[in-house]
Amino acid sequence: MTETTVGIGGAAESTDMVLNIGPQHPSTHGVLRLRLVLDGERIQSAEPVIGYMHRGAEKLFEARDYRQIIMLANRHDWLSAFSNELGVVLAVERMLGMEVPERAVWTRTLLAELNRVLNHLMFLGSYPLELGGITPIFYAFREREDLQHVMEEVSGGRMHYMFNRVGGLKEDLPAGWLGRARQAVAEVRSRMDVYDELVLGNEIFRGRTRGVGVLARETVHAYGVSGPIARASGVDFDLRRDEPYLAYGELRDTLKVVVREEGDCLARFECLLEQTHNSLDLADACLDRIAELPPGPINQRLPKVLKAPEGHTYAWTENPLGLNGYYLVSKGEKTPYRLKLRSASYNNIQALTELLPGTLVADMVAILGSLFFVVGDIDK
């Protein structure tokens, strides 16, 4: 039997150390575990260990009808609940060949962009926190509260809105809501300079993120990375522009796809911040259009028992964290035969196996935080 004593002496210099970060650790955003092999302070290999929050949502879809699966689908990424619901109803509507009222289309687009801002604000505040900057998270929650108020007023929920329905939305907008939503958007926009100046203008933040965790474009394609992380590495792809759904086809003049070439932690943060500015512009454009629409229905009347015809379809959406895909297979019953969910965070987090080797342990938190993931979105 050979025994190695790891200490300050010479034996430590040639001995690899296995370090488990998580599954309960402040720097892992929740129950994610990273198995790192270290050579001194440098990471030799990294393996994300997932599954601690797996709840079998895809199997549960098969035992719930098309109205009930919306509740299951909006919970895996708890920061993007409205967008998660949206993909499911779009897939079912495509199977049914259903046209959604124009008022519902524009309202869905508006709420999806407000939800995108809510998602991004959380990461814009929490990422500096992980690097030692405490102040931005307090501003982020103030901005989030303004938008949460209008989202809660229209849907009744603070995080899990349950406002989408097959054929449209649950109900029409409350009286005066458009004005309150416009005011909330204006207030949030007026205070976004906090992140432009307080965070991006901070030399310590830039020193910790510039040139750190560079993700190559080839790696983005190899691992199926998407969203702001992919665009920060020069992959110019956004479903809202390249394969428009909802009302995005009519918002081409307002929609701006933010792209960077550097692929480092700083570029990922800049993409997220600039995309937040653009989502506020898109929300204003949607508010203007909804105000011009004549009164009309917000949803379609559905039969008491909703059955999708036999067949299969695939719907995908540009969620705040990246591409979400929904592969729906129906046997003509009131429940899906199969509903496969492709979540953005699952693919994005796999890139850690390429990003972390060769970096210092001190940079691990900076790289991990810049991938902007939700653990429930990984595990489903």
What pLDDT score was predicted for residue 5? 44
Residue 171: inside a domain: yes
Residue 31: inside a domain: no
Residue 16: inside a domain: no
* Cα distance between the two ends of the chain: 44
Helix, strand or coil for residue 322? strand
Q: Strands, DSSP E only, in the chain? A: 17-21, 33-39, 42-49, 164-165, 168-169, 311-319, 322-330, 338-342
Q: Total domain count for the chain?
A: 1
Check which CATH number belongs to the domain holding 244 and give it.
1.10.645.10
Q: What is the pLDDT of residues 99-149, one digit of tens each?
A: 999 999 999 999 999 999 999 999 999 899 888 889 999 999 999 999 999
| Among the ranges given (16-25, 38-47, 75-84, 175-184), the one the predictor scored with the smallest mean pLDDT | 16-25
Residue 35: inside a domain: no
Average pLDDT of 64-84?
89
| Among the ranges given (143-152, 193-202, 265-274), the one the predictor scored with the smallest mean pLDDT | 193-202
Give 237-248 as a DSSP string: --HHHHS--TTG
Residue 284: inside a domain: yes
Residue 168: inside a domain: yes
Residue 137: inside a domain: yes
Q: What is the pLDDT of residues 4-48, one digit of tens each?
A: 444 444 444 556 788 888 777 665 666 888 899 988 889 899 999
C-alpha atoms less than 13 angstroms from C-alpha of 224 in its C-beta half-sphere:
10
Residue 313: inside a domain: yes
Residues above pLDDT 90, as percent of the chain = 65
What pLDDT score was predicted for residue 10? 47
Q: Which of 34, 6, 122 is nearest to 378 (CA)?
A: 34
Q: Which of 176, 180, 150, 178 is nearest to 82 (CA)?
A: 150
Full residue range of the structural domain in which residue 235 is found: 57-378
Q: What is the pLDDT of residues 223-271, one digit of tens each?
A: 999 999 999 999 999 999 999 999 999 999 999 999 999 999 999 999 9
Average pLDDT of 352-379?
89
